[in-house]
Structure 1
Amino acid sequence: MGQTLLRLAAEQADVSVVAAVDRKSPAQRVIEGVPFFAASELSGVPPFDVAIDFSLPEGLSPIISLCVARKAALVSGTTGISEQQHQQLSEAATGIAVVWASNYSLGVAVLTDLVERAAQVLQGWDCDVVESHHTQKKDAPSGTALTLGEAAQSAGGQVSYASLRAGDIVGEHTVQFTTLGERIELIHRASNRDIFARGALHAASRISQRGPGLYRVRDLID
Structure 2
Amino acid sequence: MSTARIRIGLHGAMGRMGLRLVQLMAADPRVELVAAVDRSRLGEDAGVAAGVGPLGVSVQTLEALDLNAARPDAFIDFSHPSATSEITAYCRRGRIPVVVGTTGLEADQGEQLSAAAAEIPVLTSPNMSRAVNVLMKLVGQAAAAMGVEADVEIIERHHRLKKDAPSGTALRLAEIVEAATGAGPLVHGREGQVGERPRGEIGMHAVRAGDCPGEHTVMFAVGGDTLELSHRALNRDGFVRGAIDAAVFLAGKPPGSYTMAHVLESAR
Same fold, TM-score > 0.5, yes or no: yes
RMSD (Å), alpha carbons = 1.8
Structure 2 SS opposite 1:177: strand
- 1:198 shift after superposition: 0.7
Contact kept, 8 Å, 2:43 with 2:58, in 1: the verdict is no
Between the aligned partners of 1:166 and 1:24, the Cα distance in structure 2 is 26
Q: Which residue in 1 is equivalent to 2:23?
A: 7
Q: Which residue in 1 is equivalent to 2:42?
A: 26
Structure 1 SS opposite 2:99: strand
Counterpart among 199, 212, 217 of residue 242 in structure 2: 199
Question: Cα gap change, 1:112/1:3 in structure 2, threshold over 3 Å: closer, same or farther?
Answer: same
- 1:121 shift after superposition: 2.0
Structure 1 SS opposite 2:33: coil
Contact kept, 8 Å, 2:42 with 2:58, in 1: the verdict is no
Tell me the matched-pair count.
Answer: 222
Q: Describe the superposition over 1:75-132 as per-residue Cα deviations: whole angstroms up to 9, x where unpaired.
A: 0111222111100000111111111112111111111111112212221211111111
Contact kept, 8 Å, 2:73 with 2:252, in 1: the verdict is no
Contact kept, 8 Å, 2:43 with 2:59, in 1: the verdict is no
Contact kept, 8 Å, 1:96 with 1:213, in 2: the verdict is yes
Between the aligned partners of 1:62 and 1:132, the Cα distance in structure 2 is 29
The answer to whether 1:155 aligns with 2:155 is no
Contact kept, 8 Å, 2:98 with 2:123, in 1: the verdict is yes
Once structures 1 and 2 are overlaid, which stretch shifts more, 45-54 or 136-145?
136-145
> For structure 2, which runs of at least 5 residues remain unmatched after alignment?
1-16, 47-53, 185-201
Between the aligned partners of 2:226 and 2:66, the Cα distance in structure 1 is 53
Between the aligned partners of 1:134 and 1:29, the Cα distance in structure 2 is 28
Counterpart among 211, 217, 220 of residue 260 in structure 2: 217
Contact kept, 8 Å, 2:43 with 2:60, in 1: the verdict is no
Between the aligned partners of 1:47 and 1:2, the Cα distance in structure 2 is 19
Superposition pairs for residues 38-187 of structure 1, below 5 Å?
Answer: 38-42=61-65, 44=67, 46-124=70-148, 125-156=150-181, 157-158=183-184, 159-187=202-230
Between the aligned partners of 1:138 and 1:69, the Cα distance in structure 2 is 29
Contact kept, 8 Å, 2:45 with 2:56, in 1: the verdict is no
Q: Residue type of the partner of 2:40?
A: K
Q: Which residue in 2 is equivalent to 1:35?
A: 58
Contact kept, 8 Å, 1:43 with 1:66, in 2: the verdict is no
Q: Residue type of the partner of 1:6?
A: V
- 1:209 shift after superposition: 4.2
Q: Describe the superposition over 1:19-66 as per-residue Cα deviations: whole angstroms up to 9, x where unpaired.
A: 100023614367422232123324656221100001112211121112
After the TM superposition, which segments of 4 or more aligned residues of structure 1 sit over 3 Å from their partners? 42-45
Q: Which residue in 2 is equivalent to 1:16?
A: 32
Between the aligned partners of 1:65 and 1:214, the Cα distance in structure 2 is 15
Residue identity over aligned pairs, in percent, reads 41
Structure 1 SS opposite 2:172: helix
Once structures 1 and 2 are overlaid, which stretch shifts more, 140-149 or 87-96?
140-149
- 1:8 shift after superposition: 0.5
- 1:204 shift after superposition: 0.6
Structure 1 SS opposite 2:63: helix
Once structures 1 and 2 are overlaid, which stretch shifts more, 194-203 or 19-28?
19-28
Q: Describe the superposition over 1:119-177 as per-residue Cα deviations: whole angstroms up to 9, x where unpaired.
A: 12221211111111223334322221111111111212342111222332221110011
